[in-house]
Each structure stands twice: as structure tokens, then as C-alpha cells.
Amino acid sequence: MSKQKAAITAVAGFVPEDKLTNFDLEKMVETSDEWIYSRTGIRERRILKKGLGLSYMGEKAVSKLLEKSGTDPKEVDLIICATITGDYVFPDSANQIALKVGATNAFGFDISAACSGFLYALHTGSKFIETGTYKKVIIVGGDVMSSIIDYTDRTTCVIFGDGLGAVLLEAHDDYGIIDAELKADGSGVDFLVARAGGSRKPTSQETLDSREHLVYQNGGPVFKRAVQGMSSTVKEVMGRNGLTNDDVTWVVPHQANMRIINTVASQLDFPLEKVMNNIELLGNTTAGTLPLCINEYESQLRPGDKIILTAFGGGFTWGSIYLTWAYDGSLQS
């Protein structure tokens, strides 16, 4: 007897109204629209108004999710929130979102895995469904990257934006999450990190003056490891499940940089028509990129579609998940 699968039965997203375009950035740092677009594929990104916090975006997306799926918030058993920019150091943003949407019977927790956070959270949440522990689990992925970006550093400020997506997981006999390959390598701290603000180097006037609480990235090593990490784990899950490129309906890569997306697609020999992409108008929303991509492409998804999600993030963290789609997206989007 085959075990029940954890299937995505609804998806929703939220991005702030305010835009930060490449032309806006031209006035802030030494850069240009042509330079940014040619290197990243990004023309604009969304910025959340100060003081609202991650749970504001979470409330908006999860409320849409509940409405679309016809789910009573009191039926939700668990909310897992993937983020590195929660409202507070503690309590967890998952619990703030639960409070705001009226999910009074749910418990929740946050997962911090940077751009791979949604993958980690989705894999974790699927186990609660597969074991029959819970019936309705919400996975949230998103970040307010504008709160930790150095807008004097042109190597990072042109990449990141704010946004959040959410999915509902429920049991399904036929479709759902089939396999996952998740990885981590702590040596990545040297190349992609916020050096201050944690217990090792608490925020102080000195760290504020030196801007160490903001994102630092050494782009060259990150690029190489991102391409290798995403490509290798996609190949691993495909190989284990006997999948050919023709079998896969969609690849959903982390929206880090269009050059990375193109290189991964090339190494995997996937045509770009089968690779989801929304980086041009949203930038890199870190833990938000995968669910926001799925939300944008929802109307094109059909039951049984074979989908591979893949991501790479600071730390380093990376991995891939293989799932089959559970519903006709054109009927819900």
C-alpha cells in the first residue's frame, strides 16, 4: 500500500506596491539600467514600506490562500515560515501570521535557510502530511530583503527585492511531493553572510557604522556553487526517479540572477520555455522566489505535471524537490 502524498492544493502570493527600478538605482549608486539588466536580468523590484514587516506580507498571502482554497483558518494545523527577515529575533513570524489570519488552532515555526528556505520548509511540512499527523499545513516563503540590503553597495542592492508566497499542503493519493535532495555547507559563510546581528557579533554602534548587519556577497564563488549545486541536485532527483528531460513539465529555479538561471538550464539541457522565470520585475526575493514563481504560473499548471523546484542560498544551502501537480490551476488562479 503506497503512502499518501503531500500535495500543493493552493498557492498565493503578495508583493508590495512600491517599485525600485534600475533608473532609481542609477541615482543611488554608480550603475545603469543596461549594466544591471545585462548582468542580472532584473529591471525592477518591489520594496515594502518600513514598519510593516514580514508578517504583513504573510497575512496578505495566506489570507488569499485560505480564500482561494475555501479553507477555514481554524482548520489549519501548522504554519511553517521560511525567512531570514522575520518581524523579530523572536517570536517567530509563523506565529504572527497565524494570529493575523485567525489560525488559532495552528502552531508554527520559522526556518532560516536563506534562498533555500522554501525548499527546506516544504520538505519539512510534507512529513506532517505523509505521516497523517496533520491534514492542513501552510508553507510560507518570503523576505523583506530591503531591511538588510546595503544601498551603497551596487553588487547587492541591484539584486534583491521584497515579496512572499504561500502554499497549502494536503494529503493526496495520486499527486504530491515525491522526492527531495537537500544539502548544506557551512563554509559558505565566507562568501554570503550578514556578519553582525547574531549572538556571535551582536548589533552595536560599531557594527552599524561598518554596515556589517547588512548582506555581504562575494559573487564569483557564489555563482559557481549555485550553478553546481542546483544542477547536481536536479540530476540526482531525476536519476532516482527515472525521469528524462522530456518527462519534466517545469523546472522552477531560484530567481537569483538570470545568468545563473540560464547556466543551470543549459547544464541540464532544459529549454527556457520549460523554466519558470519572473526575475525581471521582482528581482531576488530570497525565500519568496519559488512560491511566487508557482503562483505566477499557476494558470498553466495541470494535474500530473512533473515539476522540479531547485534553489541555492547563503550558508551555503541548496537542493531540489520533485513533485507532481495536483489540480487544474486555470480553475483556481
Residue 1 has a pLDDT of 47
Separation of alpha carbons 237 and 240, rounded Å: 5
**Percent above pLDDT 70 for the chain:** 99
Output the nine-digit C-alpha cell for 333: 488562479
Mean pLDDT of the chain: 97
Residue 295 has a pLDDT of 98
pLDDT value at 149 more than 60 = yes
Q: What confidence category does residue 2 fall into, taking pLDDT thresholds of 50, 70 and 90? A: low
CB burial of residue 333 (10 Å; 0-12, 13-18, 19+): middle
pLDDT in tens, 110-140: 999 999 999 999 999 999 999 999 999 999 9
Residue 3 has a pLDDT of 79
pLDDT in tens, 195-233: 999 999 999 999 999 999 999 999 999 999 999 999 999
3-state secondary structure of 70: coil
Residue 190 has a pLDDT of 94
pLDDT in tens, 96-105: 999 999 999 9
Helix axes 54-69, 93-101, angle to 10 degrees: 50
Q: Which three-class secondary structure string do you get for 187-229?
A: HHHHCEEECCCCCCCCCCHHHHHCCCCCEEECHHHHHHHHHHH
Catalytic, 295? Answer no
The Cα angle at residue 322 between residues 320 and 328, in degrees rounded to 5: 130
E runs forming strands in the chain: 5-14, 19-21, 44-46, 78-82, 107-111, 137-144, 162-172, 177-184, 192-194, 215-217, 250-253, 306-313, 317-324
* The one catalytic residue among 22, 81, 95, 115: 115
Output the nine-digit C-alpha cell for 150: 546595503
pLDDT value at 73 more than 70 = yes
Q: Can you list the domains of the chain with their CATH numbers?
A: 5-175 (3.40.47.10), 178-331 (3.40.47.10)
pLDDT value at 24 more than 70 = yes
Q: What confidence category does residue 236 fall into, taking pLDDT thresholds of 50, 70 and 90? A: very high
Catalytic, 278? Answer no
pLDDT value at 45 more than 60 = yes
**φ, ψ for residue 222 (rounded to 5)?**
-65, -45
- CA nearest neighbour of 312 among 195, 158, 188, 213: 188
Q: What average pLDDT does this structure show over 274-290?
A: 98
Separation of alpha carbons 331 and 333, rounded Å: 6
Output the nine-digit C-alpha cell for 7: 500535495
* The one catalytic residue among 157, 284, 293, 295: 284
Separation of alpha carbons 165 and 118, rounded Å: 9
Residue 300 has a pLDDT of 98
Q: What confidence category does residue 254 fall into, taking pLDDT thresholds of 50, 70 and 90? A: very high
Separation of alpha carbons 318 and 180, rounded Å: 11
pLDDT in tens, 289-298: 999 999 999 9
Q: What average pLDDT does this structure show over 145-174?
A: 97
CB 114 within 8 A of CB 287: yes
Residue 330 has a pLDDT of 96
**φ, ψ for residue 138 (rounded to 5)?**
-105, 130
* The one catalytic residue among 254, 257, 293, 295: 254
pLDDT value at 284 more than 90 = yes
Catalytic, 257? Answer no
